[in-house]
Amino acid sequence: MLRIYEKLNKSLKPNKVFQVQLFSTGLRHSSTQQQQDIEPVEKKSPSEEFRQKRVRFNIKAENIQGRPLYLDAQATTPLDPRVLDAMLPYLTNFYGNPHSRTHAYGWESERAVEKAREQVAHLIGADPKEIIFTSGATESNNIAVKGVARFYGTKKKHVITTQTEHKCVLDSCRALENEGFRVTYLPVEPNGIIDMQKMEKALTPDTALVSVMTVNNEIGVKQPVAEIGKLCRSKKVFFHTDAAQAVGKIPINVNDMNIDLMSISGHKIYGPKGVGALYVRRRPRVRLEPVQSGGGQERGLRSGTVPAPLAVGLGSAAELAQQEMEYDSKWIDFLSKRLLDRLTKALPQVIRNGDPEQTYNGCLNLSFAYVEGESLLMALKDVALSSGSACTSASLEPSYVLRAIGADEDLAHSSIRFGIGRFTTIEEVDYTADKCIKHVERLREMSPLWEMVQEGIDLKSIQWSQH
């Protein structure tokens, strides 16, 4: 560089010297910059990287104050304060038995119960006389499945249901099998929805009843209830649907959908626990054999005193659900999309279980690959969530619903159900998403399987040895 500078300095006039000096300075600067660019960036030492991860994933400093957030709306919903207001008079002053016909205490309770019957009927497009009050959807399912099968059992001995039904329907069908009935458990597609062609093939002249739930309680998929109802009506087969997770959340009309029997739960629609209803069609008439004996209340189909305060609560909840269904649906769709987008953008390998289109968005079932669902639930102790159905979550076996849709056992074990409801807020959803992201990353950091996947190893190709 100096030789070039001297030659240029001699050959140029004095007034050009300053320009050459600038030129040489620029060259020196650029060469120095190139040297700096070439120098390798210092990597963090393993100990420093470990220290940063330890700070990031630290859970010891977490102080939980108050009660957890509630995101388990498929297990139960909080009682709407307006429903409580409607119930209170019948828990205090109006305490008469609605079946007492000889005095005013009974008459006023009976009026309240009949009004509630009308409110429930109006929600599903039925006649009030077709509504039977029960203790909940489990009892309604038992009466419908066992009652119809036993009444028509001398002529028809075949029942059809699906592999993803609620436990009480599956157990009722098993009880019928012990009584000599033949039960077909239809498989579902990988998206959780039944194949209508398989349904049609399964129907025989010996079929008395088809029972398919409207919205699944674990993965939220909606079955083609209207198509099933039309098919059953054409074959003169009674159609029952467990609509505990659907009534008050999606539009349902029993006449348009050709539904003959429908189970309803109070505490799934912001009503009280311990009350439900069973819709039983009158034309064409559906006959049932009562499951329990007694005083012949509720058209002789469900003996026992109707609890007036609970029936009033169910009626009030049904009326509110009808009034606010459109608003609730938009709000829940918005929150569900917000939660799903936030999780899937931040975390790889998050799998949604069930069909993404034919679904009720308030039930969002996600599997986080290489994370144990129970471990994640324990980490998210300030959020009330579920790893599956509340009815079967006491078992550590993977969900039978996820097994039925063909989910791998490891993914079935890593599933979490997020239940969003009427009173869920944006802040609750954002908090849950952020906590979930943090703990999934933390648990994956501890997982040797996740480390192997990051290195490009196909876990399915490995033959694990047993000791």
pLDDT in tens, the chain (467 residues): 445 445 444 444 444 333 434 334 443 444 444 444 444 545 666 666 655 655 555 665 566 778 999 999 999 999 999 999 999 999 999 999 999 999 999 999 999 999 999 999 999 999 999 999 999 999 999 999 999 999 999 999 999 999 999 999 999 999 999 999 999 999 999 999 999 999 999 999 999 999 999 999 999 999 999 999 999 999 999 999 999 999 999 999 999 999 999 999 999 999 999 999 999 999 999 999 999 999 999 999 999 999 999 999 999 999 999 999 999 999 999 999 999 999 999 999 999 999 999 999 999 999 999 998 888 999 999 999 998 644 444 556 788 999 999 998 888 889 999 999 999 999 999 999 999 999 999 999 888 788 787 877 777 777 666 65
Report d(CA 272, CA 312) in Å as an integer.
Answer: 9
pLDDT, tens digit (0-9, with 9 covering 90-100), for 33-56:
444 444 454 566 666 665 565 555
Report d(CA 171, CA 187) in Å as an integer.
Answer: 17
DSSP state for residue 369 in the 8-state scheme: T
Catalytic residue among 168, 173, 391, 436: 391
Residues in contact with 457: Cβ distance below 8 Å, sequence separation at least 6, in sequence order? none
Q: Which structure tokens are listed for 329? A: 């649906």
Range(s) of the chain covered by CATH 3.40.640.10: 81-321
Report d(CA 146, CA 288) in Å as an integer.
Answer: 8
Range(s) of the chain covered by CATH 3.90.1150.10: 69-77+325-451
Q: Which helix (H) or strand (E) holds 160?
A: strand 158-162
Residue range 69-77+325-451 forms a domain whose CATH class is alpha beta
Q: Which structure tokens are listed for 299? A: 């058209």
User: Could you name the CATH architecture of 81-321?
Assistant: 3-Layer(aba) Sandwich (3.40)
Contact 414, 352 (CB under 8 A): no
Report d(CA 1, CA 4) in Å as an integer.
Answer: 5
DSSP letters of 318-363?
Answer: HHHHHHHHHHHHHHHHHHHHHHHHHHHHHSSSEEE-S-SSSB-TTE
What SS3 state is found at 208? strand
pLDDT, tens digit (0-9, with 9 covering 90-100), for 94-145:
999 999 999 999 999 999 999 999 999 999 999 999 999 999 999 999 999 9
Q: Which structure tokens are listed for 171? A: 């157990």
Chain centroid to CA 138: 18
Decide if 436 is catalytic: no
User: CA dist 397 to 51, 143, 216, Å?
Assistant: 37, 29, 19
* Sign, CA torsion 57/60/66/71: positive
Q: Which helix (H) or strand (E) holds 398?
A: none
